[in-house]
Copies of this chain bind each other. A is one copy, B any other.
Amino acid sequence: MQETIQNILKKNLLSITGSRVKILELFLAQNGALAHGDIEKRTGEKFDRVTVYRTLQVFLNKGIIHSIPTADNSVLYALCKDDCAEGHHHDNHVHFVCDNCGNTVCMDEVTVPLIKLPNGYEMRQVEMVVSGRCKVCAAGKGV
């Protein structure tokens, strides 16, 4: 995995630094999305808050991660699995936010359906966020 991380950074022409490696590790270990706050907690006192902000910003621009709009307007990020590039993202999958455990996941196998807009509107990107109870919470009868 260490290998993978280095490759991701190199492929994106980014220098390999402690914070970038650590934050990428977190994303790869996690199968869901992470908020800025999550990352701060899990990196402990290791990095400055500002560095985390800047690292996420760089990852976003490079198309390494994408942000997820949520109903409660907290900012979440998840790894891009498709071949997103600088500027152009195309993660056209649905996101699921669990009301119970708070976990948010990319549903890579569920693609956002096409819709028809009224005349004159030009569609560029479509985001679809579903909330409810996740597999785990639904099975566990709501913990």
CB <8 Å contact, B128 and A132? no
Given contacts A69-B69, A73-B75, contact A118 B110 (CB under 8 A): yes
Q: Which of B122, B132, B134 is the one whose CB lies under 8 Å from A133?
A: B122
Q: Which of B69, B71, B120, B135 is the one whose CB lies under 8 Å from A138?
A: B120
Q: Which of B73, B96, B138 is the one whose CB lies under 8 Å from A73?
A: B73
How many copies of this chain does the complex contain? 2
CB <8 Å contact, A124 and B132? yes
Given contacts A113-B115, A128-B127, contact A96 B121 (CB under 8 A): yes
Q: Which of B73, B109, B126 is the one whose CB lies under 8 Å from A128?
A: B126
- Is A130's CB within 8 Å of the partner chain B? yes
- Is A7's CB within 8 Å of the partner chain B? no
